[in-house]
Amino acid sequence: MIRRTVARRRAGSRAGRRAATLLGFLAAFCVATLFAARTAGAYAFLYVPSSQGVPRRWNQAALLDGRVPWRVSAGTGGNVAGERSARDVLAAAFAHWEDLPTSAIRFALAGTSNARNRNAGDRVNLVTVNATESLGTGVLAATFLSSDASGALLDVDIVFSRDVAFTTAQTPDGGSYDLESVATHEVGHLLGLEHSGLARATMVPFSERGESYPRTPSEDDRIGASLLYPEGDFLASTGALTGRISLAGAAVYLSHVVAARVNGPVVAATYSAPDGSYRIEGLAPDVYVVYAEPLDGPVTPGNVGGFRSAFGGTPSTGYGTFFH
């Protein structure tokens, strides 16, 4: 069976995201243990629907030279402007993920395509900046994935909106969305990554005009890609935080669980499963503070549809942030 899903990125407010990271109330119970990582667990992946946590990823062993092939649309929409070609900018976005030292993911640009629109049945991973379809109000781009029941990805198409202004400029202006930043986010979906709840992550589901920091994957993004496609001794040299979140004895579902180094920097995050359990993997040996917070804005349960479709259930509400 082929399973199809879509991940979208929207225009958003940085101010709203910053406010969300400052909220904090003692309400939930969190237990965490650090131990050696083995296999990828609940992180922020795009899972097979109703699978209870089967991640979607490329079977590199079945690909020529282990590389994920992709094609770019031959034409470029009139809403894309700037001194660099769209093709060069998209190639740079793929390169940002390929350059991660702890991830083995690799890509191959297979040329251009005369196709303008996505096609789940052609087994061509198309990136189109010339689509005729409208993605809807506020949507900058969308990634459409097909996989089999084992999670093996079969076809991924990335579609950029025809209705918003993109720039390919090396230094983006404040009136347009940075094509390279949005593309780097969408390639993260192509790898199998879900939206992140971390405001400064490439995989956060919002962007602003002129914003270029998402071109460089954050530590959370890097760890996610490395868990899906580990390079060298990444798994053997890192550990995991695992625990269960409960409120008055009841499991807390779809809580945003964040691991930060004791001196402050946020490292990685995940979402709790319906039984309240969570697992944050790929962490270097260190002392960590863990906190859990509700997805009550700006990132909401609606932004992590790939996670919810895997587990079902109703997200927990009515609690604040707890630090452990």
| Mean pLDDT, range 203-209, rounded to an integer | 95
| Residue carrying the six token digits 């309240």 | 276
Which neighbouring-strand residues pair with 241?
A: 34, 280
Residue 195: pLDDT above 60?
yes
Residue 37: pLDDT above 80?
no
Q: How far is it, in rounded angstroms, from Cα 45 to Cα 270? A: 9
Burial class (CB in 10 A: 0-12, 13-18, 19+), 289: middle
Q: How far is it, in rounded angstroms, from Cα 268 to Cα 239? A: 12
| Mean pLDDT, range 44-65, rounded to an integer | 96
Would you list the domain boundaries of the chain? Answer: 13-53+232-323, 60-226
| pLDDT at 6 (0 to 100) | 59
| Residue carrying the six token digits 């579902």 | 253
| Mean pLDDT, range 287-295, rounded to an integer | 94
| pLDDT at 35 (0 to 100) | 38
Question: pTM for this one?
Answer: 0.90
DSSP 63-121: SGGG-EEEEEESS--TTEESSS-HHHHHHHHHHHHHT-TTB---EEEEEEES--S--TT
Report the topology of domain 60-226. Answer: Collagenase (Catalytic Domain) (3.40.390)
Task: Identify which has the larger pLDDT, 75 or 16.
Answer: 75
| Residue carrying the six token digits 């990554």 | 193
> What is the torsional sign of CA 73, 74, 79, 80?
positive
Q: What is the pLDDT of residues 174-185, one digit of tens each?
A: 999 999 999 999
Residue 219: pLDDT above 50?
yes
| Mean pLDDT, range 131-144, rounded to an integer | 95
Residue 15: pLDDT above 50?
no
Residue 49: pLDDT above 90?
yes
Residue 22: pLDDT above 50?
no
| pLDDT at 318 (0 to 100) | 86
At residue 33 the predicted structure's pLDDT band, cuts being 50, 70 and 90, is very low
Q: What is the pLDDT of residues 72-92, one digit of tens each?
A: 999 999 999 999 999 999 999
The amino acid present at 242, given as its one-letter code, is T
| Mean pLDDT, range 116-120, rounded to an integer | 95
Which neighbouring-strand residues pair with 10?
A: 139, 206
At residue 34 the predicted structure's pLDDT band, cuts being 50, 70 and 90, is very low
